[in-house]
């Protein structure tokens, strides 16, 4: 009896070995899968590296843009502050001149003297615009960016109050003269009281403006020289008497 030949699947190259093609195929599949996995890992690593590089570039561009923007803001702030310094001195001058005019007129409108005052003073009292306009301040209301908020508010408040005060009382000279002395005195008192409040605001605002330009080598004089000693004395007396009648 001839013994049956048995071919055992194997992976060697001996004559009695019969290659196991299923195993070979499986090994090939695993190798292919491994290669694919390696390719995917490499691709993912490359993608992450590219993403990280792109993110770094974006952050760098953003940082550069923010730096440029901040530099522009700083330059604009510096320019606004320089403009404020220049404007503050001019505002203080104009307000000082307005203060001198206001003080002289309030002294003329003294309630104790208004019952028997001159025709000239009555003309100033009923004038459509008894004072000069604050032209420079009014023309610069859109250029206050370099001022502190409270200083800008003070300037605008003085301007609007001045414009309100700088108008006629709605009466003619003959109508004022027809009134009783007490009525004329009360009318003058009300207007002078309001004028003194405006004067206080002007003086406070002048002092506020000084902070912007004081110490600058180009500034020679202060705004306080616009009031004479006589005007200061008469104003102090008027203030004292008006405070006593309040």
Answer left, alpha or beta for residue 215, where phi above 0 means left and psi between -120 and 50 means alpha: left
Lowest mean pLDDT among 29-38, 77-86, 135-144, 201-210: 29-38
Residues 68-101: tens digit of each pLDDT: 777 887 788 888 889 999 999 999 999 999 999 9
Rounded (to 5) percent helix, strand, coil in the chain: 75, 0, 25
What lies within 8 Å, CB to CB, of 44 at 6+ separation is none
Look at residue 100 in the predicted model and tell me its pLDDT. Answer: 93
Look at residue 62 in the predicted model and tell me its pLDDT. Answer: 79
pTM: 0.70
Across the chain, mean pLDDT equals 84
Q: How confident is the model at residue 223 (pLDDT cuts 50, 70, 90)?
A: very low
Look at residue 72 in the predicted model and tell me its pLDDT. Answer: 81
105 versus 24: which is more confidently predicted? Answer: 105
- Please report the DSSP string for 129-166 in residue order: S-S---HHHHHTTT--TTS-HHHHHHHHHHHHHHHHHS
Share of the chain above pLDDT 90, in %: 52
Look at residue 74 in the predicted model and tell me its pLDDT. Answer: 78
Residues 37-64: tens digit of each pLDDT: 777 777 777 777 777 777 777 777 777 7
Residue 152 has pLDDT above 60, yes or no: yes
Q: How confident is the model at residue 128 (pLDDT cuts 50, 70, 90)?
A: very high
């Amino acid at each position: 009896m001839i013994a049956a030949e048995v071919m055992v699947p194997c992976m060697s190259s001996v004559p009695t070995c019969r290659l196991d093609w299923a195993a070979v195929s499986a090994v090939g599949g695993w190798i292919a899968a491994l290669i694919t996995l390696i390719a995917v890992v490499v691709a993912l690593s490359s993608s992450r590296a590219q993403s990280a590089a792109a993110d770094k570039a974006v952050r760098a561009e953003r940082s550069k843009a923010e730096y440029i923007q901040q530099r522009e803001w700083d330059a604009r702030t510096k320019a606004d502050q320089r403009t404020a310094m220049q404007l503050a001195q001019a505002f203080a001058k104009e307000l000082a001149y307005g203060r001198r005019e206001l003080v002289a007129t309030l002294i003329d409108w003294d309630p104790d003297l208004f019952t028997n005052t001159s025709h000239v003073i009555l003309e100033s009292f009923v004038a459509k615009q008894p004072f000069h306009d604050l032209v420079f301040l009014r023309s610069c209301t859109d250029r206050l960016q370099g001022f502190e908020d409270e200083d800008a508010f003070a300037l605008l408040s003085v301007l609007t109050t001045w414009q309100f005060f700088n108008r006629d009382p709605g009466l003619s000279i003959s109508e004022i003269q027809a009134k009783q002395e007490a009525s004329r005195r009360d009318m003058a008192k009300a207007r002078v009281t309001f004028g003194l409040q405006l004067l206080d605001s002007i003086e406070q605002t002048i002092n506020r403006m000084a902070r912007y330009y004081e110490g600058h080598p180009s500034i020679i004089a202060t705004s306080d020289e616009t009031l004479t000693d006589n005007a200061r004395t008469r104003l102090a007396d008027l203030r004292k008497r008006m405070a006593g009648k309040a």
